[in-house]
Copies of this chain bind each other. A is one copy, B any other.
């Protein structure tokens, strides 16, 4: 497996796919993509992998390539059934998909993407930010009294952890929702999450430094 992720990530570590691959104990090669130049660290044009230039992309040993977080995460989980990263029954699978869809549409694209996009006008950012409290209230109500989104750790937790980290570099404030911040703290103690975070942190710091150099 080969997984591509952003070098100009405009967000702190760790990526959801990396967490899932570590959970699965998968043999995987990671390749960074510079989202400005759309070049991989190996010098390839990433648009040939995903014409939209969006990460992550997952390339299987078969050569098949998958994009979009929900698909990449579920494909990793299916390839490693022993890790039990998704439920095997129809209701459980649908509940997982409900969370992946909520995180992708309501949090990732509905709130954070405009806030992270340097090209987005201030009003688009304000509009996105105004949508955050109702979404976080809903999420907190579902996390309250639970350890994970489902009965046990799943790829939805990997995705949620990664997306919640966007709050560190946007005006989204998670502090009013203690069920969310304690969930983040719990997840961070998980070896796969801690490892992904630790390995991506130097890349992140490097990028932040480069961003500052460009801005000055």
Contacts and interface: CB of A to CB of B under 8 A. Distances in A.
A135 B69 contact: no
Contacts of A74: 93-94, 97
Interface residues of A, number: 47
Contacts of A52: 106, 134-135, 138
A66 B78 contact: no
Interface string A177-196: 00000000000000000000
A141 interface: yes
B104 A66 contact: no
A27 interface: no
Copies in the complex: 2
A151 interface: no
A15 interface: no
B71 A90 contact: no
Nearest to A78: B90
Given A114-B127, A134-B52, A79 B90 contact: yes
Interface string A59-98: 0101010111111101100110000000000110111011
A121 interface: yes
Max chain B CB contacts within 10 Å: which of A69, A90, A97? A97
Given A109-B110, A110-B109, A70 B97 contact: yes
